[in-house]
Amino acid sequence: MSLMSASVTKSVFGQFTASPLYLCLFYPMLGILEGKTIDQSIEKLRIAFVPTFVTGLLWIPVSIVNFSIIPPGIPRMVTINVVGIFWQTYLSFENKKVADRVSELSI
């Protein structure tokens, strides 16, 4: 298996296995920490899962480039961390947007 095909396989596998699990924990747990009910927290997940998962597909090309082109060591770590900052910012904005929408539905 070439480096490129191994990178593609690992990236796609990770995105379609770990990412759904992470998102299924992320939104409900934040809802609970925000003081929302279990039902409201699950509603956050229902609203946000698909758009967040689709946006998260950006990690596939990022990972492929990172593992097949970027040299090992610090450059790889920097690449993932820079993209990670933008990803975490997106998750924060998405969580706020969904939390506001769930609050509106609860009124």
Q: Where are the domains of the chain?
A: 3-106
Q: What's the CA gap between 46 and 66, in Å, rounded? A: 31
pLDDT-based confidence at residue 107 (cuts at 50, 70, 90): low
86-89 contacts at long range (C-beta below 8 A, 24 or more positions apart): 87/56, 87/58, 87/59
Residue 11 predicted with pLDDT over 70: yes
- Enter the pTM of the model: 0.88
Residue 106 predicted with pLDDT over 80: no
Phi/psi-derived region of residue 2, left when phi > 0, alpha when psi is between -120 and 50, beta in every other case: beta
AA identity, residue 32: I
Q: What is the pLDDT of residues 23-81, one digit of tens each?
A: 999 999 999 999 999 999 999 999 999 999 999 999 999 999 998 899 999 999 999 99
Q: What's the CA gap between 45 and 95, in Å, rounded? A: 10
Contacts of residue 29, Cβ cutoff 8 Å, sequence gap at least 6:
41
